[in-house]
Amino acid sequence: GYWLANPAWIAAGKIRPDTAWRPWRVSPTGYLHELAGNIGAGDRVVHLSDGGHIENLGIYSLLRRRCRLIIAIDAEEDAAMSFGALGDLIRFARMDMAIQIDIDLDHVRRIGKPAEDGLSRDHMAIGEIDYGDASDKGLFVYLKSSLTGDEGEALRKYKAIEPAFPHHPTMGDQFYDEEQFEAYRSLGYHIADQA
């Protein structure tokens, strides 16, 4: 959410390096250009964003670059395990770029109802990206914040006292206490290790 000096302008000597990395919360000119859909790589300032205004996984730009291997980590609040962020990405890719993402999420879906154990069989799924012709394919590795039951006692204990784990709301509270941070860090490490 910051406007920063364009690195190309710094390299060209148009902006002094000692003042270049002072972030602006708002660049009136940049904001107007963005509002009008008239931003470009040659502008004086660039807006740094997590990409959530397009789609929440941050994969859209990687698809535009036709990457052969994309690893998506989905840690959104998704207690229903509806895969909303992935569904949006698949839809945007198809509509905007004619790119197909084919992925089977059955092993990541919950086995039982959330009121029961709510466990998944796996934390990940692997799919294929079709960029438009037979020779233009990519691999899509999707990791989902989920529980399978093999996470260890510390995470089981945390789940017992925090039923929302691993899908705490993020809009109202983006600051974790030490125990919550450690639970999410441990789960992320476990998921990556399993993958």
How many H-runs (helices) and E-runs (strands) does the chain carry?
7, 6
- What span, in angstroms and rounded, lies between the C-alpha atoms of 171 and 179? 19
Closest CA to 110 of 28, 187, 66, 167: 167
Is residue 114 over pLDDT 60? no
- What span, in angstroms and rounded, lies between the C-alpha atoms of 81 and 58? 19
Q: How confident is residue 115, by pLDDT bands cut at 50, 70 and 90? A: very low
Q: φ and ψ at 19, to 5 degrees?
A: -115, 0
CA 125 from centre of chain: 15
Predicted structure pTM score: 0.75
CA separation (Å) from 42 to 4, 5, 12, 53? 13, 11, 11, 22
Predicted local distance difference test score (pLDDT) of residue 106: 94
Q: How confident is residue 107, by pLDDT bands cut at 50, 70 and 90? A: very high
Predicted local distance difference test score (pLDDT) of residue 155: 95
Triad 161, 117, 125: Cα angle to 5°: 110
* Alpha-carbon torsion (74, 76, 79, 84), positive or negative: negative
Predicted local distance difference test score (pLDDT) of residue 46: 79
Collapsing DSSP to helix, strand or coil, 134 comes out as coil
User: What tens digit of pLDDT does each residue of 76-95 get?
Assistant: 889 889 999 999 999 999 99
Q: How confident is residue 131, by pLDDT bands cut at 50, 70 and 90? A: very high
